[in-house]
Amino acid sequence: MTMMILCLICPVSRGNAESETLKGNPASKKVEQSMSACIAEASRLKLPIATLQARLQEALVKKVSDEKIVTALEHHLQALIAAQKILEKAAGRNRESRTTEILTALARAIESGLPPEIFEELFKDQRGVFSYRMQALIEAGEMLYLGGISQESVKIFMLECKNRDMPRKATIRAASFWMQRHQEGLDTDEILRRLWGGEVSRP
């Protein structure tokens, strides 16, 4: 069972999996069972398991308790499921090659505390077309939320970037600008005015 977990963590370098991962970080039976269950469920739902593997790897390196590892894995799985529901609702069965990256970014944002409803509204007229810019949008929204920006302001920001079809760099730069102005004490309206001249379409 331990070797199976190790193989799941390091699918490429299986020969060195034991030396790299078990180096002072053995996984208990409880963690192995939880990881197996999460992977089985993720596979059944056709969810990416790479982030589950990364989560486990992070936990093992940081030498956290088994209970925390199990909780983190299950929490991450639930975030992936919630993200998948949002994308399926927006895209139907029409999946594109970028969906895995979008789904992973969306799961992370939900795990960080952003409510799924924000993204449901963001994606409602996508018709199954998700671009690399949408991934940047989600990550920028998460960045703002983690920086202390309100959910409402995050929603306004993401909708505005989406409507303007902003490329990744511009989206990240705009998010950084918002963060810095927020730290200076400016309110949302003033930040919007400075960013886009106040010409925004509020939801």
Partner 1 sequence: MKTSPNNNIPVRNTKDTFPKKHLAGLRRRAPDGFTQRVMASLPMHRHKTFHWWPEGNSWIAPLLTGVAAALLIVALLPDNMLRSPHTERITVQFELHAPEASVVELVGNFTDWQPGRIKLEGPDQSGHWTASLDLPAGRHEYLFLVDGRRWVTDPLALIYRPDGFGNMNAVVNL
Span interacting with partner 1, options 35-43, 120-128, 170-178, 186-194, rule CB under 8 A = 170-178
**b/e code 116-128 from CB counts within 10 Å (16+ = b):** bebbeebbeeeee
- Identify the CA nearest to 81 among candidates 24, 26, 122, 43: 43
Q: Using CB under 8 A, pick the residue from 175, 191, 192, 200 that binds partner 1.
A: 175
> Does residue 68 belong to the site contacting partner 1 (CB under 8 A)?
yes
Q: Using CB under 8 A, pick the residue from 172, 186, 193, 195 that binds partner 1.
A: 172
- Identify the CA nearest to 79 among candidates 127, 38, 134: 38
| CA atoms of 196 and 191, how far apart (whole Å) | 8
Minimum gap (Å) between residue 61 Cβ and partner 1 = 5
**Residue 146 or 186 having the CB closest to partner 1:** 146
Q: How many residues bind partner 1 (CB under 8 A)?
A: 26
Minimum gap (Å) between residue 93 Cβ and partner 1 = 25
Tokens of 126: 């996508």
> Does residue 59 belong to the site contacting partner 1 (CB under 8 A)?
yes
Q: Among residue numbers 91 through 150, which ones bind partner 1 (CB under 8 A)?
A: 105, 108, 112, 132, 139-140, 143, 146-147
Q: Are the CB atoms for 154 and 144 separated by under 8 Å?
A: yes
Tokens of 193: 């005015």
Q: Using CB under 8 A, pick the residue from 40, 58, 94, 152 that binds partner 1.
A: 58
> Does residue 64 belong to the site contacting partner 1 (CB under 8 A)?
yes
DSSP string for residues in 125-174: T-TT---HHHHHHHHHHHHHHHTT--HHHHHHHHHHHHHTT--HHHHHHH
**Residue 2 or 88 having the CB closest to partner 1:** 2
> Does residue 72 belong to the site contacting partner 1 (CB under 8 A)?
yes
Tokens of 46: 């056709």
Query: Would you mind telling me the total number of residues written for the chain in this entry?
Result: 203
**Residue 11 or 92 having the CB closest to partner 1:** 11
| CA atoms of 142 and 24, how far apart (whole Å) | 33
What residues line the site for partner 1 (CB under 8 A)?
20, 54, 57-59, 61-62, 64, 68, 71-72, 75, 105, 108, 112, 132, 139-140, 143, 146-147, 168, 172, 175-176, 179
